[in-house]
Structure 1
Amino acid sequence: MNAEDTVRDQLLADGWNLFPDAGFIETAGPFFHRLQDGQPGLCFPVLDKHENRNGMLQGGALMTFVDRALGFTARHQTQTLATTTVTLTLQFVDGVKLGETVHVMPTMTRATKQLVFMSGVFMVGERTVCVANGIWKKIVAQPKW
């Protein structure tokens, strides 16, 4: 059993659900979700494969998780089957070390007929590592999974 399997099994035992996405998200993850007090919570365990040349979490990997977390919550909160990212703004506040887990409970700021406004404060324990805001458009197209 490798490190990714060990981390996955522990998070599953703790009540987290693995995103079953194929393609890029499967490669970029693993990403997990669960309901906490009726709201989606998401987490991203940082593995060796996410390392940048400074020995920390690669910023692009965190950006992918941010997009997934806020987009997933936009769909969940609006009961929309599919959305697409219109805009996403991030501020990297602190570095993330290998072996740490990034958590977020995103907030829906507003939803209109077509747009969903989202924000999130991404944390490792009590430490803020990223702040993000974005807009998602509800779309008619069905995801292939």
Structure 2
Amino acid sequence: MTAPAEITPPEGFIKSQGRGDFSTINGPYYHRAEQQEGLTQQAFFAEQRHANGLGLVHGGMLTAFLDGLLAAAVWRETQTRSVTIHLSVDFLHMARIGEWVMGDARVTRATRDVAFVEGRAYVGGHDVVRASGVFKLMHRRAR
């Protein structure tokens, strides 16, 4: 199954812009226009190009989605760009072509230099992937 020419995102979600070439090529990604307090929410529509040889959403796609989602939660909470130091991913269930993969993440703790984040991706009523990460906050150096 391929995506329709015009994908209608879930209610309250809009297409994300300016995420860099990697995310642009692998997306499109969508985010909730009005985020809940402390929660960052994103989604993508699983297309054939996101699938592995079994016709399921590839683990690499799910991992990339979660990495970007957790990083977005860090940005939202700290207003600081970050890079991934550590990412732990647990695969719990399958996502299939033609499904909306939804995700939410929240920062559990932030210091001056690092942020700790937890998130999940889910389809319908079941979690597909859970992740936790540690992100280095990238402060601008004085010149």
1:64 paired residue number: 64
Whole-Å separation in 1 of the counterparts to 2:10 and 2:132: 28
Whole-Å separation in 1 of the counterparts to 2:4 and 2:67: 22
Task: Show structure 1 runs of 4+ deviating over 4 A.
Answer: none
1:121 paired residue number: 120
Structure 1 residues 12-47: Cα deviation after superposition (integer angstroms, max 9, x where no partner): 874423233231111111111123333321112111
Q: Cα distance 1:55–1:40, how it changes in 2: closer, same or farther (>3 A)?
A: same
C-alpha contact (below 8 Å) 1:74/1:118 kept by paired residues: yes
- Structure 1 residue 118 displacement after superposition: 0.2
Q: Cα distance 1:4–1:20, how it changes in 2: closer, same or farther (>3 A)?
A: farther
Give the counterpart letter for 1:48 in structure 2. Q
Q: Does 1:78 align with 2:78?
A: yes
Give the counterpart letter for 2:28 in structure 1. P
Q: Cα distance 1:111–1:93, how it changes in 2: closer, same or farther (>3 A)?
A: same
Moved more, 17-26 or 52-61: 17-26
C-alpha contact (below 8 Å) 2:15/2:28 kept by paired residues: no
Identity value in percent: 28
C-alpha contact (below 8 Å) 1:84/1:137 kept by paired residues: yes
Moved more, 63-72 or 121-130: 121-130
2:90 paired residue number: 91
Gap runs ≥5 in structure 2:
none
C-alpha contact (below 8 Å) 2:89/2:129 kept by paired residues: yes
Whole-Å separation in 2 of the counterparts to 1:118 and 1:127: 20
Q: Does 1:139 align with 2:135?
A: no
Higher helix share: 1
Pairs aligned (count): 138
Q: Cα distance 1:76–1:14, how it changes in 2: closer, same or farther (>3 A)?
A: closer
C-alpha contact (below 8 Å) 1:57/1:98 kept by paired residues: yes
C-alpha contact (below 8 Å) 2:44/2:101 kept by paired residues: yes
Whole-Å separation in 1 of the counterparts to 2:93 and 2:112: 35
Whole-Å separation in 1 of the counterparts to 2:133 and 2:57: 22
Secondary structure (helix, strand or coil) at the match of 1:121 reads strand
Gap runs ≥5 in structure 1:
none
Structure 1 residues 44-99: Cα deviation after superposition (integer angstroms, max 9, x where no partner): 2111111110011011011110000000111111121x100000000100111001
Q: Cα distance 1:13–1:128, how it changes in 2: closer, same or farther (>3 A)?
A: closer
